[in-house]
Copies of this chain bind each other. A is one copy, B any other.
Amino acid sequence: MSQDGAGVDLETSLGYLLKEVSSALRVAMEEVLRPLGMSVTRYSCLELLAQRPGLSNSELARGAFVTRQSMNVLLQTLEREGYVTRPAEAPVGKVLPTRLTPRGRRSLEKATVAVRSVEVRMLAGLTETEQSTAFRILRSMVRSLHDGNDGA
C-alpha cells in the first residue's frame, strides 16, 4: 500500500531521510541558538569568518548556502550592530573583505559551544569508523549532484 511500484517510497528513500535529518538538525540548532539571540544563518556567517577571515560577501553566501543578496542583507545588519567590519573602499575590484570584530568573536564563542553540543549529540551512538564512512558517502553524494548541474 505504501509502494505501488512506480512511486518514490518515502520509507526507503535516502533523499527523504536526508531531508528528515537536515530538518532535525536545523530545529536542534535553532533551539540552542535562540537563547543566544542568534539564527542559524547568522551563526554560519560568523563561523565562516572566524575560520577564513577576509571572506567576501559572495564567498560567504556560497559558504552558507544562501544567495549573495540574502547574505548582503545579513552583513549590513551585522556591520550596523558591530559584529563585523568591511572597508569603505574595495582594495581590489569590488570585493569587500569582511572581518570579525572583537564583539563578533565574543558572540560567536558562545554559539560555537552550543552548536558543538548539538553535533556531539547527533553523533552519539556512532563509532569513529561510522562517522568516517558517513563523511565519505555524503561527499560522494554532493559530488554526484553537482556533476549533473554544472557539468563540471
**Contact status A144-B130, CB under 8 Å:** no
A81 within 8 A of B: no
Contact (A6, B138) CB under 8 Å given A121-B144, A148-B121: no
Chain B residues positioned under 8 Å from A13 (CB to CB): 119
Q: Smallest Cβ distance from A31 to chain B, in angstroms?
A: 7
**Contact status B144-A122, CB under 8 Å:** yes
Pick the contact of A15: B7, B118, B141 (CB < 8 A): B118
Chain B residues positioned under 8 Å from A51 (CB to CB): 2-3, 7, 9-10
Q: How far is the CA of A103 from the CA of B28 in the complex (A)?
A: 38
Contact (A47, B7) CB under 8 Å given A15-B119, A28-B149: yes
Interface size class of A (residues with CB under 8 A): 35 or more
Chain B residues positioned under 8 Å from A126 (CB to CB): 137, 140-141
Pick the contact of A14: B8, B24, B65, B135 (CB < 8 A): B135
**Contact status A131-B31, CB under 8 Å:** no
Q: How far is the CA of A23 from the CA of B66 in the complex (A)?
A: 9
**Contact status B149-A27, CB under 8 Å:** yes
For the A-B complex with A118-B148, A130-B133 known, give 18 more contacts whose Cβ atoms are closer than 8 Å: A10-B47, A15-B119, A18-B18, A18-B25, A18-B138, A20-B65, A20-B142, A21-B142, A21-B145, A24-B146, A28-B145, A121-B144, A122-B141, A122-B144, A122-B145, A123-B141, A124-B144, A134-B134
